[in-house]
Amino acid sequence: MAHIITVPAFSDNYIWLVCDDKQENAAIVDPGDAKPVIAALKSNNITPAAILITHFHNDHVGGIAELLREYPGLAVYGPHSERIPHITIKLSGDETVRIDEIDEEFKVMNVYGHTAGHIAYFTNDGTQNRLFCGDTIFAAGCGRVFNGTMEQLHDSLAKIAELPEDTLLYCAHEYTMANIGFAKWVEPESADLLAREQTAQAMRDNNQQTVPSLLSLEKSTNPFLRTHLDHVVEKVAIETGKTLNNSTEVFAAMRTWKDTEYD
């Protein structure tokens, strides 16, 4: 059974160490900053086995060069269509990446939208489903669209929603409370959302992280996974003044609403 170590970075980033069951080796997911990663590896006496990259933004790749200086020869996996220095194994989606040192296989998913080449890594260690999803989906929210498209990000979220509901989503930022604030604009009467807010606030008050989150929880409280529901469509149409003909249009209007009036 894999063991996951959280490495906080910057003001709100999470870098993930996916360790073998003895916590002797680890794959490093999205190391935007090398220093806290190296500190975590050394303090836990862990040998890095590989680096997994989801997309090209610097807060996900900025630590690669320093990690390679400290640990020469590490394999670096990442999206083939994005210009990321030091990638040694380029992935286009639907591959299976096996890292023998941690006895773990990752199924590569195309989850375009936040960036045009964004990928994610899905794994099951025999006990737990996990998705290392970068900035595609967050707890109670989703990433902005940069050089991808609204349609791509909507389709990527729909793809994630089809995973087993017990999948843990390992996103890369602690944005939960802010995302819940916007979600309450969309569904102000949601009992599930209000309960989630109380739980998440208590965790933050105790300096606990709110991610990973369960996909089942996201499907009941994340408005960007609920664009097919009539009351969500109606709310977004009223707030944006748009006629919305399908789930993709609802998603795009909601994301734009959040970008321009909430974030």
113 has pLDDT over 90: yes
Mean of the pLDDT values across residues 203-220? 98
Give CA–CA dist 218/223, Å, rounded.
Answer: 8
The whole-angstrom separation of Cα 252 and Cα 263 is 15
Give the count of domains, the chain: 1
User: Among the options 20, 30, 33, 135, which is catalytic?
Assistant: 135
For residue 15, the model assigns a pLDDT of: 99
Per-residue pLDDT, averaged over 62-87, amounts to 97
pLDDT reported for residue 148? 98
pLDDT in tens, 86-104: 999 999 999 999 999 999 9
* Residue 59 annotated to the active site: yes
Is 118 catalytic? The answer is no
Name the catalytic one among 33, 60, 118, 155: 60
Structural domain boundaries, residue 125: 3-262
Closest CA to 16 of 2, 32, 28, 33: 28
> Could you give the CA distance from residue 37 to residue 42 in angstroms, rounded to a whole number?
9
pTM over 0.95: yes
User: In the prediction, which pLDDT does 126 show?
Assistant: 87
pLDDT computed for residue 146 by the predictor: 97
Q: What is the CATH number of the domain that holds 40?
A: 3.60.15.10
Closest CA to 82 of 131, 34, 115: 115
- What phi and psi, each to the nearest 5 degrees, are found at residue 79? -65, 135
Instruction: Quote the mean pLDDT of the chain.
Output: 97
The verdict on whether 228 is a catalytic residue reads: no
80 in active site: no
Residue 104: what residue type? E
Does 21 qualify as catalytic in the annotation? Answer: no
Known catalytic membership, residue 173: yes
Alpha-carbon gap, residue 185 to 229, rounded angstroms: 15
- Taking 80 as the threshold, does the pLDDT of residue 1 lie above it? no
Q: How many CB atoms lie under 10 A from the CB of residue 58?
A: 9
